Structure 1
């Protein structure tokens, strides 16, 4: 069992609406930074900052492909995050809530 402080830190990260939406999208597939820029209408540095915080806490992992970085979930050992994400809507619903249609990767 993780120390209480680590769980509290994880939950603080999920308290941000953008990060929670990112993690919810990551439940279904990996996403590229460029896709998140399009989805959230924020700058690439802002997206990278959100993802850096999640990576530092071990919630996501990254793989670099050319100039782009793709992220995927890394919560196998974090049942508290799995429980929260289990209650989140699917990616189609989240994209609709953000007034976005299906995102086609432009970074490949």
Structure 2
């Protein structure tokens, strides 16, 4: 018998609905390889801080992302300990990389603009 925990259909539907938003999906793909703070996301997505915070709140509310405080700033990363992480990881692995957004931020000198 396979002991791998499977995500049930209702839970999968909720997760996919949450990730159905392009901004949140892109954030999750970015967080697969880069910790980011709100100010970096605002620059990457050309969105206001409150809008970015709302997206992050939705991801944080179901614990898909976690926060790490560095000084007065909060950095976000994927919560690899989440019970549904294997499911999320499989979805994200099918998507194109988003490292260009981070590279563009670095080129603009905004990669760590909040330190």
Bigger-Rg structure (1/2): 2
Runs of 4+ in 1 over 6 A off after TM superposition: none
| Residue of structure 2 equivalent to 1:60 | 65
| Residue of structure 2 equivalent to 1:91 | 98
| Residue of structure 1 equivalent to 2:3 | none
TM-score (norm 2): 0.79
Q: Size of the alignment, in residue pairs?
A: 104
Structure 1 gap ranges (5+) = none
Distance in structure 1 (CA, Å) of the matches to 2:96 and 2:7? 26
Structure 2 gap ranges (5+) = 1-5
Give yes or no for the alignment of 1:13 onto 2:18. Answer: yes
TM-score (norm 1): 0.84
Kept in 2: contact 1:28–1:91 (CA 8 A): no
